[in-house]
Amino acid sequence: MTTLPDNNKTANERVMSRTIRHSVYLQRYAAGASRDVIGFLEEFVFPDLLGKLQTRLDRIKARGIDLGPWTTKRYQTMLGDLWTVLKDGTKEANKLVKADLVELSKVEADHVLRSLSGSVPADLDVTFRGLDLRSVQTVVNQPIVGAPMKDWWAGLAEQTQRRVEQQIGIGMTQGETSEQIMRRIRGTQAAGFTDGALNVTRSQAAAIVKTAVNQVSTQTRRATFQENGDLVKGYRWLSTLDSNTTPICRERDGKVYSVDSNDLPPAHWNCRSTITPILKSFREMGIDKDELEPSTRASVNGQVPATTTYETWLKDQPVSVQNDALGTARAKAWRAGDLTWSEVNAVNQLGRPIPLEDLLDD
């Protein structure tokens, strides 16, 4: 009789514990990956952009702003230069991130396989299958929040171009110097350059990376569950339990879905939720065996782990935390029983919370 660790936990509880622990490391990886991409923009893209902008602005200012067609031509040339830098830079950022995501998917596939294999007793004739390289490539090429990742990077270039053009236009209209216009774009050192138009680009780039990491991790996990459909019957949604968790993720926390469901993280930009597998019971796996004795390490009983959900977690938190998570009025209505948990987290088609007055009117 084989005795393994965590005797007091079921296989599903054991694999979920590993999933939660791993998700912490994954979020750290996502934060590091986003810093790397911002570092690339800071080192190679923004200096080129700002350098061309400074040169062109100085030329326009030197010749005068009201010289007609020639000034207009120089202005359009400047905007064309900026667009080339942004377009090429974001294309390169996409390549760098995608290469990292391929490696991430391989690591995630290996982790999921080891986690599944380590969740059941070693003396059972159960073998889990991993993903091949082709499946990994398929996972990485999946759309992110409805569109290919390259389209999000292209959109980032377009949005940055518009913000830069807007600030240039405002600066010229107000008769600002080249350096004043540059500060509008770059920001000021006193504020850590967080007050310039390019800071929005940093934030959006980080969101693309973090969301892509979550997407690849989740899709890799789900693909592995599907590959082992004879042993895995579904997955459970796990949301990060803190006051920054969005309504949609709070509401889905703890819910169970089939392995073919399309309800998967990321549910939104910067989503931190993940999924954990629900293993079948011995009988469902085709193993003609009763559940193991407690001393051998847990039952593989196919039951969903009875663990804390976001709702039960939040009930045990101070009123201040509840108010921070839900909003003061919404939290008060929830505590009073005027709103159910599903109602308090209800969102419209745009993913925005339904106004409290609309919920209470119903």
Give the alpha-carbon dihedral of 289, 291, 294, 297, to 10 degrees. 80
pLDDT confidence band for 5 (50 / 70 / 90): very low
Strand ranges for the chain from DSSP E = 232-238, 256-257, 274-279
294-345 pLDDT per residue, tens = 333 334 555 555 566 778 778 878 898 888 888 899 999 999 999 998 888 8
Whether the per-residue pLDDT at 273 is higher than 50: the answer is yes
pLDDT confidence band for 281 (50 / 70 / 90): confident
Q: Report the interhelical angle of 46-63 vs 178-186 (nearest 10°).
A: 160
> What size, in residues, is the chain?
362
Partnered with residue 278 across adjacent β-strands are: 234
> Model's pTM, two decimal places?
0.84
Buried b / exposed e across 193-224, counting CB within 10 Å, b at 16+? beebbbbebbebbbbbbbbbbbbbbbbbbbbb
Residue with tokens 């419209």: 348
Helix, strand, coil abundance in the chain, percent, nearest 5: 60, 5, 35
pLDDT at residue 83 in the model: 97
Q: Which residues have CB under 8 Å from 166's CB, separation 6+?
A: 197
And the tokens for 156?
């980032």
167-185 pLDDT per residue, tens = 999 998 898 999 999 999 9
Q: How far apart are CA 183 and CA 167, in angstroms?
A: 10
Shortest CA distance to 94 belongs to which of 25, 47, 140, 46? Answer: 140
Q: Which one has a higher pLDDT value, 38 or 288?
A: 38
Mean of the per-residue pLDDT values for the chain? 86
pLDDT at residue 303 in the model: 56
What DSSP letter does each residue of 99-117 carry, written as one string? Answer: HHHHHHHHHHHHHHHHHHH
Q: Which one has a higher pLDDT value, 362 or 102?
A: 102
93-131 pLDDT per residue, tens = 999 999 999 999 999 999 999 999 988 877 777 899 999
Highest mean pLDDT among 116-130, 262-276, 284-298: 262-276
pLDDT confidence band for 2 (50 / 70 / 90): very low
Dihedral sign for Cα atoms in the order 269, 270, 271, 275: positive
Q: How far apart are CA 249 and CA 25, in angstroms?
A: 19
Q: Which residues have CB under 8 Å from 358's CB, separation 6+?
A: none
Q: Span 125-142, mean pLDDT?
A: 91
pLDDT at residue 295 in the model: 36
And the tokens for 201?
């680009």
Cβ atoms of 7 and 298 closer than 8 Å: yes
Q: Span 14-26, mean pLDDT?
A: 85
pLDDT at residue 290 in the model: 57
Q: Which one has a higher pLDDT value, 14 or 217?
A: 217
Highest mean pLDDT among 7-16, 145-154, 353-362: 145-154
Q: Which one has a higher pLDDT value, 345 or 232?
A: 232
pLDDT at residue 350 in the model: 60
Whether the per-residue pLDDT at 287 is higher than 80: the answer is no
Cβ atoms of 16 and 236 closer than 8 Å: yes
Task: Identify whether 266 is preceded by a cis peptide bond (ω within 30 of 0).
Answer: yes
Q: Report the interhelical angle of 69-117 vs 197-227 (nearest 10°).
A: 30
